[in-house]
Amino acid sequence: MKTSNRLEGLKSAVFAELDEIKEEVAAGGLSIIDLSIGSPDMPPMPHIFHALQEAIDDLDNYGYPSSRGTRDLRETISWWYGQRFGVQLDPETEVLVLMGSQDGLGHMPLCLLDPGDIALVPDPGYPIYTAGVILAGGEVYHMPLKKENQYLPDFEKIPEDIAKRANMMILNYPNNPVAAVADSVFFDRVVEFASRYDIVVCHDVAYSELSFDGYRPPSFLESEGAIKVGVEFHSVSKTYNMAGCRLGFVVGNSEVIEALTRVKSNIDYGVFLPIQMAGITALRGPQDIIRRNAAAYKARRDILIDGLAKIGWVMDKPQATMFVWAPLPKGYTSSEKFAEDILRQTGVAVVPGVAFGRQGEGYVRIALVQDNAIIQEAVRRISDRFSF
């Protein structure tokens, strides 16, 4: 069977190899502590899954939903954005419901890029950012995210001919995988740069509600002029522990929203109505889960980082997300080799940084997706076998 050439650019080798090693280690009798995949391990609040159960029992909810999302959910999203960020949105033209934020991020390049057009993509970055561009036939220009620049792209180092050819730019703060954050001053610079070169900004803000130590992530759309140059993707997955429900949304520039609506109306029929109803309940209901989630991830962060510091593996404490971006200990130069050694000797699975791009070499990503006791066990196992 001949497959399309564009599939050659889609990389899954690192993750596939990691899965194979997990199976080998488990077959050898060592239990796996999986800190690789960023899937919430905590359940949604009872009022959310009860709303889902009630909606599933209603037989009127089994028809094709609108690909735009229900009016009730779009109005709820507009209301939530106003409450959370002070950003006012028109639910009719500036809000689109998605099957998770990855759905929209993967399809957006189809709206904005023709073959040969450039997308500015962070490196390291979440894999869908690059994959979506490749599937659309666009060209990727990687913006390095380096510690010395607080993991923010340096727009001054983007060649002018590249900036002039770029049609879109993807950003993500709080960031996956590097767990970096950005402030309003940075987003003001983003608006200025995008306006100067007529670039559409696509900001992924899926982790805005998982923040610690008094930090409160801003929205890109809070910056003056932002809605003229871009959109923002959000998700209920991380905020409300609804990852399997596949519900997210994109808000912002009405022309960009309309373009993505056209693409999606030719691809899918929208999100199952009971899931949309559960989303309304999550967004409008008690927000205790947000505080609970943030407190849980903060506690796990501290157990992991403080515990590993005792054996000489020192890493920064992130202010947001469910991830720790950990530099390789002394003596290691390959993130794949280090992740494999940790997994084979301790059963603890982490992701080599190179899986997220060339700039990720020298790091591993650790997901805080197990409870305190299991995180403590992971620290104990690593401490028993390694000293850095």
List of residues 6+ apart from 307 with CB closer than 8 A: 376, 379, 380, 383
List the domains of the chain with CATH numbers: 5-43+288-385 (3.90.1150.10), 62-284 (3.40.640.10)
Q: Can you tell me which residue has the tokens 């947000």?
A: 290
Q: What is the C-alpha separation between 379 and 377, in angstroms, rounded?
A: 5
- Residue 126: which residues within 8 A CB-CB, separation 6 or more? 105, 172, 176, 177, 204, 356
Q: Which residues pair with 204 in a beta bridge?
A: 172, 233
Q: What is the full DSSP assignment across 12-66?
A: -HHHHHHHHHHHHHHHTTPPPEE-SS----SPPPHHHHHHHHHHHH-GGG-SPPP
pTM of the complete model: 0.96
260 touches 96 (CB < 8 A): yes
Structure tokens at 164: 């002039």
Non-local (6+) Cβ contacts of 181 within 8 A are 173, 174, 175, 211, 215, 217, 318, 319, 320
CA distance 166 to 160: 10
Task: With beta carbons less than 8 A apart as the criterion, state whether 137 and 8 touch.
Answer: no
Per-residue tens of pLDDT for the chain, all 388 residues:
888 888 877 776 788 889 999 999 999 999 999 999 999 999 999 999 999 999 999 999 999 999 899 999 999 999 999 999 999 999 999 999 999 999 999 999 999 999 989 999 999 999 999 999 999 999 999 999 999 999 999 999 999 999 999 999 999 999 999 999 999 999 999 999 999 999 999 999 999 999 999 999 999 999 999 999 999 999 998 999 999 999 999 999 999 999 999 999 999 889 999 999 999 999 999 999 999 999 999 999 999 999 999 999 999 999 999 999 999 998 899 999 999 999 999 999 999 999 999 999 999 999 999 999 999 999 999 999 998 8
Between the two ends of the chain, the Cα-to-Cα distance in Å is: 49
